[in-house]
């Protein structure tokens, strides 16, 4: 597990959360008639919040500082 030290500001004021969406890897494949490209994603996009100062991550639905 990665240990991220919390900056002083986070301890005093709480974290500054920002919403992020991490796009999954997108794969383009030719369809059967080779005239169209189909977009296929290999995994679901990841929704999360990240503190702009210390980089801590938490779930998208989390509330508060």
**Would you tell me which residues interact with Zn ion (CB under 5 A)?**
10, 15, 51, 53-54
**Nearest distance from residue 20's CB to Zn ion, in Å?**
14
5's tokens: 């030290």
Nearer to Zn ion, 12 or 34 (CB): 12
In the numeric block, which tokens belong to residue 57? 């991550």
Q: For residues 10 and 48, which CB has a smaller minimum distance to Zn ion in the complex?
A: 10
The smaller minimum CB distance to Zn ion, of residues 27 and 60, is found at 60
Distance of alpha carbon 26 from alpha carbon 21, whole angstroms: 14
Quick one: CA dihedral 30, 31, 34, 38, positive or negative?
A: negative
């Amino acid at each position: 597990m990665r240990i991220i030290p919390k900056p002083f500001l986070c301890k005093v004021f709480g974290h500054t959360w920002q919403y992020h969406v991490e796009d999954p890897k997108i794969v383009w494949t030719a369809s059967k008639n080779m005239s169209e490209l189909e977009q296929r994603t290999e995994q679901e996009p990841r929704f999360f919040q990240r503190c702009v100062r210390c980089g801590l991550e938490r779930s998208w639905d989390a509330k508060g500082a």
